[in-house]
Structure formats: C-alpha cells, structure tokens
Amino acid sequence: MMMGKKLVLVVGLILAVAVVSLSLLLGGGITTDTVTTQTVIQTVTQKQVAGTINGAGASFLNPQMQAWASKFYELTKGRVKVNYQSIGSGAGQANFKEGLIDFAGSDPPLKKEIYDEFQGKSGIIQFPVIIGTIVVVYNIPNIETQKLRLTGEVIAKIYLGEIVYWDDPLIKELNPDLNLPHEKIIAVHRSDGSGTTRVFTAYLSKIYKPWKEKVGSDFTVQWPVDQLGNGVGAKGNEGVAAAVQQNLYSIGYVETAYAYGSGLKIALIRNRNGQYVIPTEETVKSSLIELTKILPKAHEDWSKIFPDETVDPPGLKSYPIVSFSFIILRQDYDDEIKVALLREFFTWVLTEGQKKENIVPGYYPLPPEVAQIGLEGLKLLR
C-alpha cells in the first residue's frame, strides 16, 4: 500500500513538472532567467515541440538569418526548422499582413498606419535582432577598396544625375591623390521594395535637402539618374552587388555583409564630424551610444525614430548609415506550437545568437539593453 502511494506521488511530481514546464514555454514566456535554465527546452521541447516556422522579408537580414536558422537546426537536431526567404522588406511586410508567413524581417519598422491597423486587431511586436550597416560600393579599376572618399551630398548628387563623371570636380576635391577616370558613373539601385533603400534614402534626405524635396525616402523611390540612362535597377542586395560587379565604373549601396561576400570595394563616407569612416566595431558602437537611450518597447510604434532620426548620428568616430534589422510578430497566433517555436528560436537569437561565433561578418551584435527589448516582447506572444 505504501509502495503504491509512493508510486502515485512520484508520477504526480513528474506530471507537475511537465505541466509547469509546458506552461512556461507555451504561455508564460521565457525570461532571461529561464533562458539560462536550458533543461526546460531540452527535456520538454525536444520530444513535444517540433516543427517549422516560415518567415520572409529583408535581404539586408538574409545572410545572418540563414546562419542562425542553420545553427539552430543543428542545435535542435532537426527539431526546429526556420525557413526565411529574401524577398525585400516591403514584400515581407505585405506577406505578413496577409497571413502568409509566421514572421517578417524588415529593416525599418512598420509604418504608423500599418502598426495602428495591427494594434486594432491581434496586436503586434517588433524588435531589433541584429545591427547592420549600409556601405557604398564601387567598381573603378586601379582604385583599391577604402581609397575612394565620398560625402552624403556627393552620393545624392550622383543619384540625382547632377554628377555624371567620376572625375567631376566635387569628387576630385575629396580625392586629390586618386587618378579618377573620365568615365560615366553607372548608379545601381534597388528595383524592389527595400528596407535598405528606405534607410539609404533617409540618409540622403537628412544630408542633402534637395534630395528630400525631389525624391524623399521610402521602400521604393523614383531615381532621377534613371531618366539620364545612367541608372541600373536590381532586385535585392544580392542583385545590386552582382550589378556593381558586372558594370565597370558603377556605384551602388548594399548591406555590408554583401560587400564582404562579393569582394566589392567599399567607399569611405564622411560623418558629421568630418571623419571618413567605414563600418567597424568601433564606429558602429559610437553610433549606438546615444541611440539606445531612446528606443521604444517591442509593442510600441518605432516609426517616428527609425530610420529618419537614427541616420547620421553624432559621435567623432560614428559611421553614418547604421540600422537595426527588425523581426515583426503578431501577439496572437492560432497555433500554440507555432508560438512555442517562435519564442524558442527568437529567444536563442537574442541571447546565444548574439555571440561572436554566431554573427556573420558585416553584422554586429545588439547591446544587451537592446536585446532585452525583444526578450520582453516575446513574453507577449500567446
């Protein structure tokens, strides 16, 4: 009789632990404290929570997302599969809005009107997962990488069609030691709805008032240089990188990881303190010092801050075109397993995924206080 009671007690305790663990994982949220208790994930989810989550959006984010997805698939021994398609921020947001994917990747956060629409329905969560930078790349024979100096104003004038040749006096003034050719500049840009374009054109709008008045900043814009026959459109960061490689005397803008991956030459850009810089850990960190003090929470509207107010930040060494890449989630999902998988994967992304060994060259990890925004936001999933 006593043995029977002990057996019942032991079974009851096991069931209680399982219920509490599942409750924590599926409904109660994973905090930074529970993340350290990996036994919850390892003992419960390995056997009971498995499946696939589907996302799409920013090509800016794609190399890093593919690396995370591959690593997490390996760590979970195939239990969790993350599919991510590089289709551009605009298309990603559109697919997410239509319910075709579980999450969207986007360089800028949601526009206010779309944010308000989601808030009136199932609620929305948006938070940074990685820091990326946009670089200006060029294909000029005999001029090595990081030798060409440019300013935001000169870049804007190239895409406006006001500067046509590489040996224009404004470019020569910035580069007196370079033998610049008298060749027409082929200005490569995105042809699809792009968060990279949104951030890049926000920078040009902030630096050069005529650009803001004539073109402005959005996922897609009308490129004046196209009307002169000197513009080339390409889809995705991948397409822009390839087009610059294929066109002599061209210029383009891409997320830094694509420049490294393609071996493209990177231009030095003058920051607001007059320093010519490229993205490095030091210049990116300088850009973020003041920025992290004003960030919203995951369930709040980010559109008033990103990217118009965050480009060209103060700081002696700051790189001028730094951007977070965001993940967008609903607060409510119909499938509890889907919620568990999303929470588990993005909790890993915001913790272990930020370690140096899990970061693709060209990206930079989030400061802990920024990663915490996402971790708190994940508690709202239900």
Burial readout 119-155 (b: 16 or more C-beta within 10 A, e: otherwise): eeeeebbbbbbbbbbbbbbbbbeebeeebbbbbbbbb
pLDDT given for residue 22 in this prediction = 35
Q: Output the pTM of the full model.
A: 0.80
Residues in the chain: 382
How many C-beta atoms surround the C-beta of residue 11 within 10 A? 10
pLDDT given for residue 111 in this prediction = 87
Torsion angle of the four alpha carbons 158, 159, 160, 164, in this order, in degrees rounded to the nearest 10? 40
What does pLDDT average to in each consecutive run of 10 residues of the chain (382 residues)? 38 38 40 40 53 96 97 97 95 93 93 87 92 96 96 98 98 97 98 94 97 96 96 97 98 95 96 95 87 87 87 92 94 94 98 97 93 97 92
User: Tokens in use for 103?
Assistant: 């999450």
Going from the N-terminus, what domains does the chain have, and what CATH number goes with each?
A: 11-133+296-312+324-378 (3.40.190.10), 134-287 (3.40.190.10)
Torsion angle of the four alpha carbons 255, 260, 261, 267, in this order, in degrees rounded to the nearest 10? 70
C-alpha to C-alpha distance for 292 and 300, rounded to whole angstroms = 15
Alpha carbon distances (Å) from 330 to 76, 121, 270, 276, 334:
24, 10, 39, 41, 10
Are 320 and 274 contacting, i.e. CB atoms less than 8 angstroms apart? Answer: no
Q: What is the CA radius of gyration of the chain?
A: 23
pLDDT given for residue 2 in this prediction = 39
Are 200 and 253 contacting, i.e. CB atoms less than 8 angstroms apart? Answer: yes
pLDDT given for residue 335 in this prediction = 93
